[in-house]
Each structure stands twice: as structure tokens, then as C-alpha cells.
Amino acid sequence: MSIDTLDLHAEFPILAAGGRPLTFLNHAAVAPISGRAARVMADLAHQSAAQAYLDPDWYPAVLRVKHTAAKLINANSSKEIAFIPNTTTGIAMLAGGLDWRPGDRVVITDVEYPANRYPWTDLRRRGVEIVQAKQGPDLRIDVDDVINLINNRTRVVSISHVQYASGFRIDLKPIADVVHAAGGLLCVDAIQSIGVLPVDVRAMGIDFLAADGHKWMLGPEGAGFLFCEEDLCQQIMPPIAGWMGKRNPLDYGNYDERYLPDARRFEPGTWNVAGLRGLGASLDLLLEVGIDAVWQRVDALSGHLREALAAAGYKVVSPSGVHERSGIVAWLPREGQDAAQVADALKQQGIIIASREGRLRASPHFYNNEQQLDLLVKAIDEL
């Protein structure tokens, strides 16, 4: 399937919501779910009301989502995938599951989204040292600055593939090589890259990754997945002990205390079946279009927006190098304007962007078009 042959209005009802088309350019926040995700979730709701849980396809269909997620990030198999309700929970599984010793070190940055900060800074109470690579004035994070913080006490480097406020994408492989040589792990918050950028956990050297599905993956909130490299799984003791993470979980009266040997150990209890079915539908759509094609389209749209903003006199601050840009474009409001007020004013016109750290931020997906971006620039120019 190509983007040109896709029925965009069927796949993305947001384009004509309630008869009033929305110019939705905020996929780095909470994105609209795809039309097919909405349909499968609605069908499940109707089945739940009429038949309870008696449809035998419910759980096999959810398991298939693991295979889809594994394919999306080039994991070895679905055994490396666990379902999580949000990115924070996924990262906390690693932060709370390693056997920490006083003096161990974790490397993060000083601009991480809180989901990739608080699970690590909480470890200070256990004697773990948290060190931060600093974002530069150009909104870049220098790979060497991260690497220079790695020493023989470093257990984990945890970093966002794409930074939420600036859109900066970092090269993960050199960091992975150095932290692995030091005996540590690379953990990645991938919520701003999976679904829009090609992510290959093998090629990038990622050991552990977490992402909720409600941004670029076009799924509902509360349904995401983590990746844990197969050999690493048994080195992490899940911080939440639950029945689904144990061996023989369906033999309820036989209390087997052993954890499952793969990523399923990180699933303590019942799945969000409806949310995961919706997520799976959107992941199928992304794979049908092709992540490379999705990224090429988003990159072209982002480039168009950068040029239009610059021509209108706005300062685009998101790094623009070929290997560091993402689906996020951030720029400064005009002097005297407040970014949050501008975003609110645009919302009243049906144009949805965000304000972050005093900047305006747009994040188009592959189904958006240049006309919508031009409408955005014209609208902010008229405020």
C-alpha cells in the first residue's frame, strides 16, 4: 500500500471530525487514533456488551500485536516484547528491576521527559549516582558529552531517541558501543520515534526500550510495549510480582513462584485488551504503508514547514541535520507573543499544535499535507 492509494478520510477521521475538519499537527502529544483502530475497539466494545469475554479470538489477536511490534523494531521475536500501560511503567521495570549497588551510575540528560527521569532519580535513595549530559544552546546533545560520562560504574545510559521539546534525534549506536564496553546497558525512551522513524534495536545496540502507543503509533492511551533483549530478560527481577509474569499462569491453584524467562515476566496482570487491539490495528497500518515511506513523507512535510516558517520570519530552533531531525519542528514565537497563548488561539481555529518550553511545536504525520502547514503559518502570522 502506498500513501497515495490510501483512503485517508477512512483511515483518519480527524480530517473531517464532526463536519469541521481539524488541522491536527500535534502527534508528538496525544495523537488521534486511526480509523481502523477506532473500528476494532468499537467492535470489541459491542462484543463485550453482548457476549462478555466469550469470543475466542480476543487473546490470540492481542498476542499477534506482539509479533507486529517485534517486526516494527526488528526484535528477534515476540518473546522480547511485553505490553505496558505507559512509557513510565516500562522504564520503571528496568530501573526497579536491576540489582543496584551504592556507587552505581546512571547517565541521562538534563532535558528528558519526566517519564525517563523520575524512575532514575528515585534511585538516589539507594546510593545510585545520577549524572546528566547537558543540552547545548543549539538544542543538541553532543554524543561525546554522553560518552564522557560513562565509566566502569555505569550500569545504564537512558536517553530519548528524540527529545520531546526540541525534536533533536541522537545517534544511539556510538553510545551503545561505549556503554556496552563498560559493562552497562542502553535504555531508550522511544515514544517520539517509533511510528514515524525507522527504529532497529539490533542495529542501534538498544538493550531495553519503552514507548506508549498514543503518539506516532496512532494508538490509544494506556497501550504500549517494551522491548527487552532476550539475554537480558532474566537479569531483571520485575519490581511488580504478578500472576501473568509467572510460569504456568493459567494453573491458578498451583503457585509457581518462578518468573517466565522472557519479556512476559514484565506483565504482572490483565492486559488492556481493547487498547492493545486498537494499537495493533494502527501498527498494521504503519507497516502496510512502510515506516521508511512514512518517514520520507514526514521529513518532507517538516522540511516544508521549516522553510515556510523561515520565510515568514520565524526562527526555527529544532536541529535540522539529516541524521538529527525528527517529526518535531519547534520555533520561537514573535517577540512579545506567549507560546501557550498562540497555541490556544490556534486551537480556536481548529489548528492543533503545542507549546513546549516557551517554544511552539508542530508534529505532522504522514497523512497531513503541505496545505495544512501553509494554513498554520498563515494563521500564526495573523494573530
Question: What pLDDT does residue 57 have?
Answer: 87
32: in domain = no
Q: What is the mean pLDDT of the chain?
A: 96
**For residue 338, what is the domain's CATH number?**
3.90.1150.10
Of the candidates 287, 310, 331, which is a domain's last residue?
A: 287
Has residue 17 got a pLDDT over 80? Answer: no
Residues 325 and 283 in one domain: no
Provide mean pLDDT across the span 202-212.
98
- pLDDT of 19 > 80? The answer is no
- Indicate the angle between helix axes 273-289 and 35-51, nearest 10 degrees: 150
Residues 71 and 139 both lie in one domain: yes
Asked whether residue 39 is assigned to any structural domain, the reply reads no
In a domain, 31, yes or no: no
Task: State the pLDDT at residue 202.
Answer: 98
Query: Confidence band (pLDDT; 50, 70, 90) for 278?
Result: very high
Query: Total domain count for the chain?
Result: 2
User: Looking at the domain assignment, is residue 367 inside a domain?
Assistant: yes
- pLDDT, tens only, 137-188: 999 999 999 999 999 999 999 999 999 999 999 999 999 999 999 999 999 9
261 and 333 within one domain: no
Do 334 and 353 fall into the same domain? yes
How far apart, in Å, are the Cα atoms of 122 and each of 126, 130, 152?
8, 9, 21
Q: Are residues 251 and 318 in the same domain?
A: no
Q: Parallel, antiparallel, or unpaired: how do β-strands 208-212 and 224-228 relate?
A: antiparallel
Report pLDDT for 16: 81
Tell whether 142 is covered by a domain.
yes
Residue 241 sits in the same domain as residue 224 = yes
Q: Is the pLDDT of residue 79 over 80?
A: yes
pLDDT tens-digit series, residues 216-240: 999 999 999 999 999 999 999 999 9
Q: Are 224 and 195 in contact (CB under 8 A)?
A: no
User: What is d(CA 140, CA 259) in angstroms, rounded to the nearest whole number?
Assistant: 41
Enclosing domain of residue 60: 46-287
Indicate whether 209 and 87 sit together in one domain.
yes
Section 71-85 average pLDDT = 98
**In this prediction, what percent of the chain has a pLDDT beyond 90?**
94
pLDDT at 55: 79
Of the residues 269, 287, 305, which one is the last residue of a structural domain? 287
Domain of 166, CATH number, reads 3.40.640.10
137 shares its domain with 159? yes
Q: Which of 126, 13, 19, 73 is nearest to 287 (CA)?
A: 73
**CA dihedral defined by 140, 322, 22, 112, rounded to 10 degrees?**
-30
Q: Tell me, yes or no, whether 64 lies in a domain.
A: yes
Domain boundary among 252, 287, 322: 287
What residues contact 202, with CB distance under 8 A and at least 6 apart? 74, 75, 76
**Among residues 199, 198, 171, 175, which one has the least CA distance to residue 186?**
175
Whether 28 contacts 164, CB under 8 Å: yes
Would 33 be classed as within a structural domain?
Answer: no
Residues 119 and 216 in one domain: yes
Task: Verify that 211 and 360 share a domain, yes or no.
Answer: no
Residues 165 and 298 in one domain: no
Q: Are residues 240 and 322 in the same domain?
A: no
